[in-house]
Amino acid sequence: MNRSVTTSQVGQETVQTALKDWKFKACRESEWLQAVVPGCVHTDLRRNGIIEDPFYATNEHDLQWIDKLDWEYETVFDLTEDLLAMSVLELVFDGLDTYADVTFNGKLILSVNNMFRSWRADVKGLAKPSGNQLHIRFRSPVTEDLPKIERLGYNLPASNDQSELGGLGEDKISVFARKAPYHYGWDWGPRFVTSGIWREVRVVGWNDIRVNDVFVNQEQISAEAAKLTVEVELESVRGAEGSVKITAGGAEWSLAVNLQLGVTVVKVPVEIAEPKLWWSRGLGEAHLYHFRATFTEAGSSEPIAEKAVRTGLRSVRLVREKDEAGGTFYFELNGVPVFAKGANHIPNDSFLTEITEERYRHEIASAAESNMNMLRIWGGGIYEQPAFYELCDEYGIMVWQDFMFACSMYPWDEPFLESVKLEARENVKKLRNHPSIVLWCGNNEIDSAWSQYDETGGWGWKQSYTAEQRGDIWAGYESIFHRILPEVVNELAPGADYWPSSPMIDLTGDIGQHAHPLSTEGDIHYWGVWHSVEPFENYNVKVGRFMSEYGFQSFPEYDSVRTFAEEVDMELESKVMLAHQKNGNGNRLIKEYMDIYMNEPKDFPSFLYMSQVLQAEAMKTAIEAHRKRMPYCMGTLYWQMNDCWPVASWAGMDYYGKWKALQYYAKTSFADTILSFDRSEGGELRVYAISDSLTPAEGELRLTLHAFDGEILAQETLEATVGANTSTLVYAADEAKWLDGRDAGSIVLVAELVQGYVTISRKEHYFAYAKGLKLGAAAVVVTEVEGSGGTCFLVSSNVLAKQVWLRAEREGRFSDNFFDVVPGKPIEVEFQHRAPGQAFSVPAAAGLVTVTSMIDYLA
């Protein structure tokens, strides 16, 4: 057996990592199987051929036995004499999922109960040179938590806990475990309640003194100066005198210190003149500074302990001020009001250790290439891996960070509250240097779901409980979200903003606290479109100050669907399709909306395509409605960016990272400067120019009315002033002026914003729903641009071609897709590929290109 390990040295600290040769088994079994760590029981069972692909067909339903068992993992490893001689020797577990007892060389060293925490154990007196045995027994989350319901006497609300699928009937156990809530199922995700070693296990040895933590506390940031306090946490096994030195940007600062036995926090004042600021995407460079803290003992010239961190210097605040309309809700970065553009992020996989850094980069690069500047890490997943935040720092993507609580009410016993407090302290401390994090939020949707101060509001939860139970449940809620979490943020991330729940109006302690679709303060989750089958047009009416959730579903493309379904399953109500639609009414709602807005698809693959177009049109309506209302509305985050398995969902990219039509539409609608049409109830047609630029611009607005065969029926050109960082009405006229008795289903009005010889934005306006358009058989032609090496193409058509979908032989994507082509106005696109580790997509040869449009999918 190969029991070698990898060691690294940093100052006086030696870290031994990559404990190898793990094995695992169900505790009731006798045969050990090979395991991969980090990993989980489900992925290890799959690798050993014990279970089939959990995502295929209805396999999810057949794998619910796994979470009912206890599982154990074990490895044996050697230690070097140098490591054994260290003053301190620890076993460090960066993440154990979730209930586990850890034994080292026959002695119990840890009992753990929180997936979101790391755990340490002193093994100095237990370790030996060879044959060290590390054993971890994971207790079933089901058998661990079911008795807690009996002790409490009733279930707590947990709307998305798929307990029935898990064989637990009405018993909602997810609320008791400090574990990723989505593991218990959600309305887009499967129920796989995992156990395992989900983050790295390390042996850490160190001598004398080490630097545990470096926090760059940004007290005052401006273009003129950055005034900071760098807080350095040192740990020492003895008293020592010396100095702490901070270096950053070619400068250094030092402070004499006297270390005591144990932990000492040293605060070093630092000032950087004319700092390079960190900006979000679109506003400037996301500049990052490297800060290094070293400790040098008196009488020595060489540091004996050090630690480096990376951060960006910026001032950021959530601006909530009363105004004539109600109250603002926007983020101000370096003194600039920023319109937040982006989406909500969920974990990229049901099995967290399957997420590679490259998958993270694909998501963050896609966000940046889609002109986004914010992602909201939703509270039903995890505090993400370091790579996620590092990439957001690099790409200039702001992060709205939820704590891990969503759509449930939680217990309030002292052990649970203490676990929450320790979890919050560790994660805030771990993440607080990331300039990308601009907000800490207590939870997702719980304030509005419970609606404490509105007896008829909320999701109907309160009515199931007695007055005494309701009092206990709400008091528990306040303990976590109004006391523990804000206290932790205030203490460990001073100056950072905290928002108790999303959505919410304000923390008022009365009925004015709870958000609703017409709130004029706070943030809003608007789901009237979708859940309530309200028309897309309502996106133009129900606009709040910050739209932090809204969405519309679609299916993945045919090739993705075929990874979990066979041809025989290709119908909307098949068992497999229903298993991969976690929102109970989802398939019906897609069909119902399609019947309203679109024509009948000719077959199921066509339905998949049209579902994506339908979703994209809905989200375009919403995004542009929100941007048109700048500065009243200052944020739009659609639900959702990504998927954790192949499924029909609200995502803009499917599980395999393929851009749906929505992602291309979002890229266009999130562009820094766009045109957008609007039509009033009275029939006035309006054009807005919307810009995130900090300087105004002059341009030319060209309006051209085309027949679907390309004939130009009318034109108008006028000068247009595009306001800075706002939405500007640049044109208004009675729609009848353009119709002028023409067939509404046979014409399109094209608006172009031109600056010099460059078309900055182009938008089409149709005078009828898609189902009312009289599309002809389009002969769409894709012509390679000469000299481009197969990277650039002109797309043209003999008649109007809607939602033209280009696909390439090679891996990559086009710069635009699912666009409309008007005869005589070809569209130029570029094929792009992003190699692993590459920051952005670059031109690449596409190979064979195939093309279809809406007419090809109609019955």
The answer to whether residue 280 sits within a structural domain is yes
Q: Which two tokens stand for residue 201?
A: 């296990």
Domain with 346 in it: 319-669
Q: How many CB atoms lie within 10 A of CB 110?
A: 16
The torsion angles phi and psi of 455, rounded to 5 degrees, stand at -60, -30
Q: At what angle do helices 604-628 and 586-597 cross, to 10 degrees?
A: 80
DSSP 482: I
Instruction: Note whether 195 and 241 are same-domain residues.
Output: no
Nearest one of 822, 787, 830, 840 to 806, comparing CA atoms: 830
Q: What residue ranges of the chain have pLDDT lower than 70?
A: 1-14, 16-17
Instruction: Note whether 647 and 570 are same-domain residues.
Output: yes
The answer to whether residue 450 sits within a structural domain is yes
Q: How many CB atoms lie within 10 A of CB 50?
A: 13
DSSP 191: B
CA angle, residues 208, 211, 214, in degrees to nearest 5: 170
Nearest one of 641, 637, 668 to 655, comparing CA atoms: 641
Type of residue numbered 322: K
Instruction: Note whether 507 and 365 are same-domain residues.
Output: yes
pLDDT in tens, 492-536: 999 999 999 999 999 999 999 999 999 999 999 999 999 999 999
Q: What is the DSSP track for 637-688?
A: EES-S--SSS-SBS-SB-TT--B-HHHHHHHHHTSSEEEEEEE-TT-EEEEE
Which of 774, 804, 829 is the C-terminal boundary of a domain?
A: 774
CA–CA separation, 720 and 184 (whole Å): 53
The torsion angles phi and psi of 29, rounded to 5 degrees, stand at -95, 165
- Matching residue, tokens 């100056």: 495
CA angle, residues 520, 523, 529, in degrees to nearest 5: 90
- Work out whether strand 498-499 and strand 437-441 pair parallel, antiparallel, or are unpaired: parallel
Instruction: Note whether 69 and 10 are same-domain residues.
Output: yes
Q: Are 21 and 201 in contact (CB under 8 A)?
A: no
Instruction: Note whether 459 and 339 are same-domain residues.
Output: yes
From residue 718, give the alpha-carbon distance in Å to each of 26, 140, 721, 729, 740. 74, 69, 10, 13, 20
Residues 6+ apart with CB under 8 A from 236: 208, 209, 259, 260, 261, 262, 264
Type of residue numbered 34: Q
Which of 669, 697, 732 is the C-terminal boundary of a domain?
A: 669
Nearest one of 778, 790, 770, 781 to 830, comparing CA atoms: 790
Q: Which two tokens stand for residue 93?
A: 């577990």
Kind plus residue range of the DSSP H or E element containing 447: helix 446-450
Instruction: Note whether 179 and 216 are same-domain residues.
Output: no
- Matching residue, tokens 């009312």: 772
The answer to whether residue 311 sits within a structural domain is no
What's the predicted TM-score (pTM) here? 0.96
Q: Are 104 and 132 in contact (CB under 8 A)?
A: yes
Instruction: Note whether 628 and 662 are same-domain residues.
Output: yes
Instruction: Note whether 761 and 784 are same-domain residues.
Output: no
Instruction: Note whether 234 and 361 are same-domain residues.
Output: no
Residues 6+ apart with CB under 8 A from 124: 88, 89
Q: What is the DSSP track for 795-828?
A: EEESS-EEEEEEEESSSSEESS-SEEEBTTB-EE
The answer to whether residue 447 sits within a structural domain is yes
Q: How many CB atoms lie within 10 A of CB 109?
A: 17
Nearest one of 502, 493, 507, 506 to 526, comparing CA atoms: 502
CA–CA separation, 39 and 667 (whole Å): 35
**DSSP 3-state assignment of 145?**
helix
**DSSP 3-state assignment of 109?**
strand
**DSSP 3-state assignment of 433?**
coil
Kind plus residue range of the DSSP H or E element containing 594: helix 586-597
Q: What is the DSSP track for 518-534?
A: T-SSSBEE--HHHHT--
Instruction: Note whether 747 and 791 are same-domain residues.
Output: no
CA–CA separation, 178 and 417 (whole Å): 11
Q: Are 545 and 633 in contact (CB under 8 A)?
A: yes
The answer to whether residue 550 sits within a structural domain is yes
Q: How many CA atoms lie within 13 A of 728 on its CB side?
A: 21
Q: Which two tokens stand for residue 536?
A: 């897309």
Nearest one of 666, 645, 630, 159 to 375, comparing CA atoms: 666
CA–CA separation, 355 and 364 (whole Å): 13
Q: How many CB atoms lie within 10 A of CB 154?
A: 11
Q: How many CB atoms lie within 10 A of CB 358?
A: 15
CA–CA separation, 136 and 71 (whole Å): 8
Type of residue numbered 848: L
Look at residue 12 in the predicted model and tell me its pLDDT.
54
DSSP 178: B
Q: Domain of 58: which CATH number?
A: 2.60.120.260
Q: Domain of 630: which CATH number?
A: 3.20.20.80
Kind plus residue range of the DSSP H or E element containing 630: none
Dmax of the chain from CA atoms? 93
DSSP 541: T
Q: Which two tokens stand for residue 385?
A: 């891996």
Instruction: Note whether 461 and 364 are same-domain residues.
Output: yes
- Matching residue, tokens 């923390």: 507
From residue 655, give the alpha-carbon distance in Å to each of 189, 246, 289, 359. 11, 43, 34, 10
The answer to whether residue 308 sits within a structural domain is no
**DSSP 3-state assignment of 386?**
helix
Instruction: Note whether 555 and 631 are same-domain residues.
Output: yes
- Integer-rounded Cα Rg, in Å, for the chain is 29
Q: Are 800 and 822 in contact (CB under 8 A)?
A: yes
The answer to whether residue 312 sits within a structural domain is no
Q: How many CB atoms lie within 10 A of CB 829?
A: 23
- Matching residue, tokens 């319109």: 339
Q: Could you tell me the strand order of the sheet in which 819-821 lies?
A: 819-821, 801-808, 849-852
Look at residue 156 in the predicted model and tell me its pLDDT.
98
**DSSP 3-state assignment of 90?**
strand
Q: Domain of 231: which CATH number?
A: 2.60.40.10
Q: How many CB atoms lie within 10 A of CB 520?
A: 17
Q: Are 812 and 841 in contact (CB under 8 A)?
A: yes
Which of 608, 642, 669 is the C-terminal boundary of a domain?
A: 669
Q: What is the DSSP track for 294-316?
A: EEEETT-SS-SEEEEEEE-B--E
Q: Are 857 and 849 in contact (CB under 8 A)?
A: no
From residue 554, give the alpha-carbon distance in Å to each of 478, 612, 654, 715. 37, 5, 10, 37
Domain tally for the chain?
A: 5
Q: Which two tokens stand for residue 240?
A: 């020592």
Nearest one of 499, 521, 523, 543 to 328, comparing CA atoms: 521
How far from the centroid of its chain's Cα atoms is residue 481's Cα? 21
